[in-house]
Structure 1
Amino acid sequence: MHRSALAALGAAFLFGASTPFAKQLLGDGPNSSIPFMLAGLLYLGSGLGLAMIRLIRDRGWKSSGIARQEWPWLFGAIAFGGILGPLLLMVGLSHTSASTASLFLNLESVLTAALAWLVFKESTDRRIVLGMALIVLGGAVLAWPSGETIASGIGPLALAGACLAWAIDNNLTRKVSASDALFIAGSKGLVAGCVNTVLGLALGASWPALPMLSSALLIGFFGYGLSLVLFVLALRELGTARTGAYFSTAPFVGATIAIAVFGEATSMAFWMAMGLMSVGVWLHLTERHAHEHTHVELFHGHAHRHDEHHLHVHDFEWDGVEPHSHAHKHAKIKHEHAHFPDVHHPHSHS
């Protein structure tokens, strides 16, 4: 198993676990100000927690290392994934049932892969398409409402919009995934948290009581902060479509936690979903993609070891410690080995 597959599945676990708890905090009945406030608090928990971890790790403030040409990608990711996405999610949750919400959230992986393949020209094959289809189908089986009518109107529309916003975010974040994952996720959390909290206060929401405030910050730290860090690390190595497919197991995670923690009974749909998702994940985990390919000249910065893709020299005194991080140039090279569409393999296929 590729180590980054574990990161993607870890991201799905944390986010999937956060959704039912966020629904509990949101309560029942629509309110125009509460979705803004809750979205803001969730992302504030993410941003503040990751900022503290980064300060401790670096023993103070350290430059992000993001190249100038990469900042527009990060700003776009923050706007779509950190502001618009969570806002639409909270609006959708306030107008629909949890099962309906889970059903619509499976659109994210489909839209993410579609954008990656059609717009950003990421490579794929039939095995990956089939695996993703089985994972999404499993999520749909798991979340399909039983004995209720699917809500209509603003709720599903808002949830579909959230999925599209996050799909755009995923593809934009892929462009900067070689940079510090803590900085990327923390920046998104702080900006999105401040904007949505201010909007909530402007619409009449008040600061929640300490128990709810601390719960929202904690859920946000794990479900939105650490989850996003793992997601960025997976994007770096697996590419957008594959990472999105692994991440679409999140609804299954949420259902499993509901059964284990809240004592909900299992159903035939649950075991069917587990089987479909397991086969889909297995197809991805056992993928082997190898062919002769050419690396074009590339200049970027990220943590790396001096492997066959990093044969550069240093213009500074190096202490020999690996991995290390600095801006470096990749020379043009042609070779063959097994690989994913990671940050070093954005090539097209003939």
Structure 2
Amino acid sequence: MGVGIALLAAVLFGISTPFAKLLLGGTSPVLLAGLLYAGSGIGLSLLYFTRRTADEAPLTRKDWPWLAGAVLFGGVIAPVLLMTGLTHTPASSASLLLNLEGVCTSLLAWFVFKENFDRRIFLGMVLIVAGGIVLSWRGGSLSLPLGSLAIAGACLCWGIDNNLTQKVSASNPYQVAAIKGAVAGVVNITIAFCLGAKLPGAAFLGGALLIGFLGYGLSLAFFVLALRHVGTARTGAYFSLAPFVGAVVSVLLLHEPIGFRLLIAAMFMAAGVWLHLTERHEHRHRHERLVHSHRHVHDEHHQHTHAPGVDPAEPHTHEHIHEPLTHEHPHYPDLHHRHTHT
């Protein structure tokens, strides 16, 4: 399920790109980014408050420091660095550099947050990122002046954001994504107005907010759900397919030509996804005692009794205890399998 959700997040974000491109002539890129994020924040907030009884765990006090860090790096610092870099960097170099987000996400997950990976997963990530590089390459040389360093810094901040968000992925994904979208929207809109941007007409605003809700809001909520099920590095790798999805939709929607780069990128990405989809990670492992709350069914990891007042209908959400358990089965680095390996 986590793989499918991650791919759906990539598809929604990828589809939003060509539609956003249609709006670019009507306002500045910075203001458009702010409106897209605002659409995400507004739409998901409405969804969250109208579905408050939905069976998802709300954010808790211990989640807020992680979420605050994610919002700071991904919703505040990263957009500022990106906009700074874009003013000093050619579009071709910027597109290429943005592929660093997937690399930063995976490297931080593996070496800082100690998420498991093997050669198969590493090679799959390399192929997916290589496909993104082929897709965005426009010729010329890539140097690292100040603008390029700023964009690379933005990718690093988004990589930190993704890893910190994994820490709160057990909580309501609509609530998490709404907060992140609202903050990023405020930051980008503020930057745009400081740069002299003017608010566009009502029709343009409605279109931008709708695209933002679908392509940034729901996509981000599904991204958070995928973090819960398959871990950070794998979710980031699947999400790196978004540029390819956007390119395919551009071919169909904007009648852009099918170039040689698109075909080569498709082969790289297909091979990378195949390596990930055919992964089988299985070994004997031990679960330490764990107390947490998230949406679940009573599988082999959730064999517990219920306190009075808990609705037994599944899936359901309540605080529950995982007693120590040692067993063997195929698994991802999800909420219950963040263990070390010998």
TM-score (norm 1): 0.90
Q: Which runs of 5+ in 1 are unaligned?
A: none
The equivalent of 2:9 in structure 1 is 11
Q: Answer whether contact 1:11 1:247 (CA < 8 A) is retained.
A: yes
The CA distance in 1 between the partners of 2:56 and 2:120, in whole Å, is 40
**1:105 corresponds to which of 73, 78, 98:** 98
Cα distance, 1:110–1:234 mapped onto 2, change above 3 Å: same
Q: Which amino acid aligns with 1:138?
A: G
The amino acid of 1:310's aligned partner reads H
Deviations 1:218-237 (A, max 9, x none): 22112211110111111101
Is structure 2 residue 111 aligned with structure 1 residue 118?
yes
Higher mean displacement: 39-48 or 235-244: 39-48
**CA deviation vs aligned residue, 1:55-76 (integer Å, no higher than 9, x gap):** 222369x996223222100111
Q: Structure 1 residue 214 and structure 2 residue 212: aligned?
A: no
- Which residue is equivalent to 1:319? 311
- Deviation, 1:245, is 0.8
How many angstroms apart in 2 are the aligned matches of 1:84 and 1:21? 26
Distance 1:73 1:6, change over 3 A: same
The percent identity for this pair of structures is 56
- The letter of the residue matching 2:8 is G
Does the 8 Å CA contact 1:91/1:158 hold for their aligned counterparts? yes
CA contact (8 A) 1:35 1:91 kept: no
1:197 and 2:167 matched: no
Q: Which range is displaced more, 228-237 or 50-59? A: 50-59
Say whether the 8 Å CA contact 1:35–1:87 is kept in structure 2.
no
**Superposed displacement of residue 155, structure 1:** 4.4
Cross-structure match for 1:271:
263
Cα 1:281–1:235 change in 2 (3 A) is same
- Distance change in 2, residues 1:158/1:342 (3 Å): same
Cα distance between partner residues in 1 of 2:57 and 2:293: 10
Aligned equivalent of 2:41: 47
Aligned length: 342
Q: 1:96·1:151 contact (CA, 8 Å) conserved in 2?
A: no
Q: Secondary structure at the match of 1:178?
A: coil
Contact 1:107–1:163 (CA under 8 A) maintained in structure 2: yes
User: Displacement of 1:134 after TM fit?
Assistant: 0.7
Between 260-269 and 271-280, report the one with greater CA deviation: 260-269
Paired residue for 1:164, among 156, 165, 185?
A: 156
- Please state how far the C-alpha of 1:101 moved relative to its aligned partner: 3.2
How far is the alpha carbon of 1:255 from its aligned partner? 1.2
CA RMSD of aligned residues (A): 2.5
Q: How does 1:1-350 map to 2 (within 5 A)?
A: 3-27=1-25, 34=28, 36-58=30-52, 65-93=58-86, 96=89, 98-146=91-139, 153=145, 155-350=147-342
The answer on whether the counterparts of 1:43 and 1:220 sit within 8 Å (CA) in structure 2 is yes
